[in-house]
Amino acid sequence: MKQLVALSLLVLLFSCDEDDFKSLEVRDDSSVKSLNGTWRVIAYEDYEQGELIAKTEENSRGMDVIVTFDDTTDPPSIEGSNTTNSIWGTFEYTGPRSFSVPGLASTLVGQPEWGNVFSAIFTEGELVFTVNPSSLKIHNSLQQLSVVLEREQ
Reported as a single tens digit per residue, the pLDDT across 73-109 is: 999 999 999 999 999 999 999 999 999 999 889 998 8
CA atoms of 74 and 80, how far apart (whole Å):
18
User: Phi first, then psi: what are they for 15, rounded to 5°?
Assistant: -145, 55
Buried b (16+ CB within 10 A) or exposed e, 82-112: bbbbebebbbeeeeeebbbbeebebeeeebb
Domains by residue range for the chain, with CATH: 2-151 (2.40.128.270)
pLDDT digit string, tens, across residues 26-72: 999 999 999 999 999 999 999 889 999 999 999 999 999 999 999 99
